[in-house]
Amino acid sequence: MKIYHQHGHNFVWNLDSYTEDGSGNGHILSPVNIESDKIPLRLSEDIRKVSFFDPQFYLPHDAAKKLQTYTFFPKNVLNNFSTSDFIEQAYDIAQSCLVFQKELNFQYSIIPTRYFSELPENALEQLTSIFLDPFISEHSRITDAPPLLLTVIVKSIQLEDELLRSELITWITNYPELRGVYLIFDNDFYSKQIKDPEYLSNQLLFIHYLRQNGLEVHVGYTNTEGYLLSIADPTSVTVGAYENLRSFGIQRLETRESGTQQGPTPRIYSSKLFQWIPNTSLPPMRRLIPDWQGLFDESPYSEYLLNPSSSLNFNRKEIYKHYFFIFSRQAKELPADLQTRTSFVVEKIKTVLENFERISNHNVFLDSNSDGSHLTSWMNAISIYNSEIV
């Protein structure tokens, strides 16, 4: 399983982490965070070859500032946005968007999608006529264009409702022209971790069936559950700096976007806990748990992060570079064989649960966004998933 850096605000940390620490396998570019002419200056061709560009047509009528530098962005092409205007221009938009991706030598040609706050009855037909058909058609006319990935936003209802789920998977797998999908689960949970085993097992099944159909599956905007998803064999999952890059929300792409999400408490990722631990929990851990440092990982950044005299705030790059480093290492350790991988992940979760037990045995208490309560959901999700794919 590969790891892609999900770019956003301060994506330079991702680039540094990749080049300096060898963290991750590639990058997913975010045009809302970089002007079009800056891409070749900020990312070398070697990096672009292992990366892809998300055109971010999610809100096609709302061009945030930097998106205005992309001539093919729908808002920049269409004067009066409407679906019928869009259909008329769709082939021209597709052509210039694909040429842009090819000329910059990206790894894939990405077919964008749009975001629906409420899923209309004819959503897939709309997406077929404004994106899928035009991009597939224009792609076939461009010599040596990189292989196609279709962006798909999966709404919660499309995971829960078997008919909608089936319709979406069938629609995606109907097109032999696609190399794969760039999958984004539209997450509307309030908690920082996903704690719904049904939701998680449906995510696993969704990925599984796409893989069974021979498609590459690149899952974007993942948090630590990316590790759990590995048992369904996605081609890649992502690491992102701020929370809004580890859970998809459309707010990030609206013009009112301010760059970062509110998140004043700095948190440190631990692979020993599959969790982000707030630095406010570090003093009691230091005081009450012998060898508390064993609950955290070593990295080029850990000494700084765990040092009580460091003045941590959530905008410190060390927090994220540490996470990229550790999570990439976790992905590398995963066994290639899926059955072995599943057993491996289950054993890891059990060990992590023991670690949380150890913490509570020492009378250190973590809030529900920092404890191990998501891990029982992970275990149940694995059980449900395994029972479904037999």
Partner 1 sequence: MKALDEITSKCSDVQALAKGGQKSVLSAIHPQHGKVVIKFGEYRSINSIERIKREVELLKELNSMYYPKHFEFIIDDDNREFLIIEECIDGKELSESTSAFTEVTAILSLIQDLVKGLNIIWAKNVIHRDIKPANILIKSDGLPVIIDLGIARFLDKASLTHSIAARGPATPIYAAPEQLRNRKPMIGVRTDFFLLGILALELYHGFHPFDPQKVGNHANIVDNILNGIYLPPNSSNNTFNDFIEGVLKVQPYQRFRLPQELADHLGIKLIL
Q: How far apart are CA 276 and CA 147, in angstroms?
A: 36
Instruction: Reduce the secondary structure of 331-365 to three states and give it as a string.
Output: HHHCCCCHHHHHHHHHHHHHHHHHHHHHHHHCCCC
Provide the minimum distance between the beta carbon of 252 and partner 1 in the complex, in angstroms, as a whole number. Answer: 28
* 106 to 145: interface string for partner 1, x by CB under 8 A: ---------------xx-xx--x----x------------
The b/e string for 330-359 (b: 16+ C-beta within 10 A; e otherwise) is bbeebeeebeebbebbbebbeebbebbebb
Residue (of 131, 110, 114) closest to 28 by Cα position: 110
Cβ-based nearer residue to partner 1, 96 or 128: 128
- Does residue 11 bind partner 1 (CB under 8 A)? no
- Does residue 174 bind partner 1 (CB under 8 A)? yes
**What is the identity of the amino acid at 96?**
S
**Residues in contact with partner 1, total (CB under 8 A)?**
19
Provide the minimum distance between the beta carbon of 322 and partner 1 in the complex, in angstroms, as a whole number. Answer: 39
Question: Tokens 């599956």 — which residue?
Answer: 217
H/E stretch holding 56? none
Return the structure tokens found at 154.
């999966």
Provide the minimum distance between the beta carbon of 388 and partner 1 in the complex, in angstroms, as a whole number. Answer: 12
User: Within positions 182 to 211, which residues make up the interface with partner 1, using CB under 8 A?
Assistant: 209
- Does residue 179 bind partner 1 (CB under 8 A)? no
Q: Are strands 52-53 and 267-270 parallel, antiparallel or unpaired?
A: unpaired
Provide the minimum distance between the beta carbon of 258 and partner 1 in the complex, in angstroms, as a whole number. Answer: 37
H/E stretch holding 196? none
Provide the minimum distance between the beta carbon of 176 and partner 1 in the complex, in angstroms, as a whole number. Answer: 5
Candidate residues 41, 163, 336, 390; the one interacting with partner 1 per rule CB under 8 A: 163
- Does residue 169 bind partner 1 (CB under 8 A)? yes
Provide the minimum distance between the beta carbon of 105 and partner 1 in the complex, in angstroms, as a whole number. Answer: 29
Burial class, 250, CB count within 10 angstroms (exposed 0-12 / middle 13-18 / buried 19+): middle
- Does residue 176 bind partner 1 (CB under 8 A)? yes
Return the range that interacts with partner 1 (CB under 8 A); candidates 31-39, 142-150, 164-172, 239-247: 164-172
Footprint on this chain of partner 1 (rule: CB under 8 A): 121-122, 124-125, 128, 133, 163, 166-167, 169-171, 173-174, 176, 209, 212-214
